[in-house]
Amino acid sequence: MRRKILAGNWKMNLTPLEARQLIRALRAAIDPEAAALARDRDVLVAPPAVSLAAAAQELAGSNIALAAQNMHYEDQGAFTGEVSAPMLKALGATHVILGHSERRHLFGESDELINRKVRAAVKHRLVPILCVGETQQEHDAGKTTEVILRQTRSGLEGLDGRAAARAIIAYEPVWAIGTGRTATPAQASLVHGTIREIVAERFGTECAGAVRVLYGGSVTPDNVDGLIASHDIDGALVGGASLKADSFARIVRTRAA
């Protein structure tokens, strides 16, 4: 039985002070149910790098884990503007989102670069949340499976079965991110099944049964239950709706988890 994951990606939003305020409000909403929620689900938030330290302080004593949104694959060096896995770990991060479509498409990150980051995260015992997903154009051209195959295979290249089983994969169709258009549970399930087949082919069925595959793309309190109810959808990576304590708290409490 895979534990569900409800993860909030804050993107380039919230200063350290604002991050503290949001976490306080979120904790006020979900802490009373924390023990019950912790039985079958993991919750995490991914603030921007500058707000990680403040977020870590506010999360102390909670069951909410801390994720970063990106990192460099080297530990240190002449990489102006970058942060490394050891730096993220020093701030209390346990997870890192890698290969988000905004990194791929706005900042030109290649499959190869993303794989280097995934391997560096694993080396430092940060759990990678590898994002994969097709653009609208690829979707319309019937290339979804091809894109998912390439991004998933490449993203997990060089990992052993144990690391792959611990990794989290987020299927985020680019056409659904921030657009208000969500994949239907059936559409998402189909792709999640494909991702699990790719993992099985490379790492075996036990690993494929353990790896958690999240859906992301305009998840809201209104559609989360329908998505999470699907056996193949192990949780949600949430952008916009994670920036308000009440909406993310409702998503965290999803009945179907």
**# residues near ligand PEP by CB under 6 A:** 14
Residue 237 beta carbon to ligand PEP: minimum distance, rounded to whole angstroms: 5
Of residues 144 and 218, the one with the C-beta less far from ligand PEP: 218
**CA angle in degrees (0–180, nearest 5) for 104-109-115:** 105
Of residues 152 and 218, the one with the C-beta less far from ligand PEP: 218
109 is catalytic: no
Residue 11 beta carbon to ligand PEP: minimum distance, rounded to whole angstroms: 6
* Three-state secondary structure string covering 83-145: CEHHHHHHCCCCEEEECCHHHHHHCCCCHHHHHHHHHHHHHCCCEEEEEECCCHHHHHCCCHH
Residue 130 lies near ligand PEP (rule: CB under 6 A): no
Residue 211 vs residues 48, 50, 78, 207: alpha-carbon distances, Å = 26, 30, 35, 6
Among 218, 223, 247, 254, binds ligand PEP (CB under 6 A): 218
Residue 94 beta carbon to ligand PEP: minimum distance, rounded to whole angstroms: 18
Among 96, 214, 238, 257, binds ligand PEP (CB under 6 A): 238
Three-state secondary structure call for residue 199: helix
Of residues 11 and 253, the one with the C-beta less far from ligand PEP: 11
Sign of CA dihedral 170, 118, 239, 46: positive
Of residues 228 and 237, the one with the C-beta less far from ligand PEP: 237
Active-site residue, from 95, 100, 139, 192: 100
Among 48, 217, 221, 235, binds ligand PEP (CB under 6 A): 217
Helix (H) or strand (E) holding 235, with range, is: strand 235-238
